[in-house]
Amino acid sequence: MSCPLCGANAAVRIGDHASYELYECSQCAVQFWWPLKNPGSHWYERDERYAGRNKDPILKPQWNHKKTIAFFAPKGGSVLDVGCGVGNFLAHAKEKGWKTAGIDFDRDAIEAGKRTFGLENLEVADVITYAREHPQSRFDLITFFDVLEHIDNHEDFMAAVRGSLKERGHITMTVPHRAHAKWLMPADVPPRHLTRWDEASLTKFLEREGFEVVYMTATAATIPFIIQKLRFRFGKGMSVGLVSRARAAEGSRGILTKLASLLAKTKDTLLFGLPALGIWLALLPTKKRYIGLYAIARLQAGRRESMIETAWGRFALDPVADAKMADKLQNVFPHQALFELVSRLNPHTIIDIGAHIGTVSIPLAKKYKIIAFEPSPASFNYLQRNALLNAVTLEARNKGLSSSPGSARSVSRHGGNAGARTLADGGDIEISTLDAEAVQADFIKIGVEGMELSVLEGGRKLIEHSRPAIYFEINLSALRSRGVRVKQLGNFFKNHRYVLYIWDERLCRLPTLALATFFITPRSFLFGGPAAPFDVLALPKEKIVPARSAVPHLLARYFKSQYERSILVSSRRPRVAARPAPLGGNSRGHF
Domain boundaries, the chain: 1-36, 37-221+284-299, 306-571
| Beta pairing, strands 369-373 & 349-353 | parallel
End-to-end CA distance of the chain: 44
At residue 17, the pLDDT reads 95
Contact assessment for residue 308 and residue 318, using Cβ atoms and an 8 Å cutoff: no
What span, in angstroms and rounded, lies between the C-alpha atoms of 589 and 53? Answer: 79
- The packing angle between helices 48-55 and 107-117, to 10°, is 20
At residue 587, the pLDDT reads 33
Contact assessment for residue 510 and residue 500, using Cβ atoms and an 8 Å cutoff: yes
Of 151, 154, 149, 157, the closest CA to residue 132 belongs to: 157
- Residue 422 β-bridge partners: 411
Q: What is the CATH number of domain 306-571?
A: 3.40.50.150
At residue 591, the pLDDT reads 23
What span, in angstroms and rounded, lies between the C-alpha atoms of 69 and 141? Answer: 10
The yes-or-no answer to whether 37-221+284-299 and 306-571 have a common fold is yes
At residue 393, the pLDDT reads 95
At residue 559, the pLDDT reads 64
Residues of the chain short of pLDDT 70, as ranges, are: 48-57, 235-254, 256-258, 260, 413, 504-505, 553, 556-591
Contact assessment for residue 61 and residue 92, using Cβ atoms and an 8 Å cutoff: yes
> Where do the H-state alpha helices sit in 468-512?
476-481, 486-495
At residue 580, the pLDDT reads 37
At residue 246, the pLDDT reads 57
At residue 566, the pLDDT reads 52
At residue 571, the pLDDT reads 45
Of 474, 455, 422, the closest CA to residue 463 belongs to: 455
Q: Amino acid identity of 248?
A: A
Backbone φ, ψ for residue 464 (5° rounding): -70, -35
Q: What is the pLDDT of residues 436-458, one digit of tens each?
A: 999 999 999 999 999 999 999 99
At residue 254, the pLDDT reads 65
Secondary structure (DSSP) of 176-205? EBTTS-GGG-TT-STTT--EEB-HHHHHHH
Domain topology for 37-221+284-299: Rossmann fold (3.40.50)
Q: Amino acid identity of 186?
A: P
Q: Amino acid identity of 334?
A: P
What span, in angstroms and rounded, lies between the C-alpha atoms of 481 and 477? Answer: 6
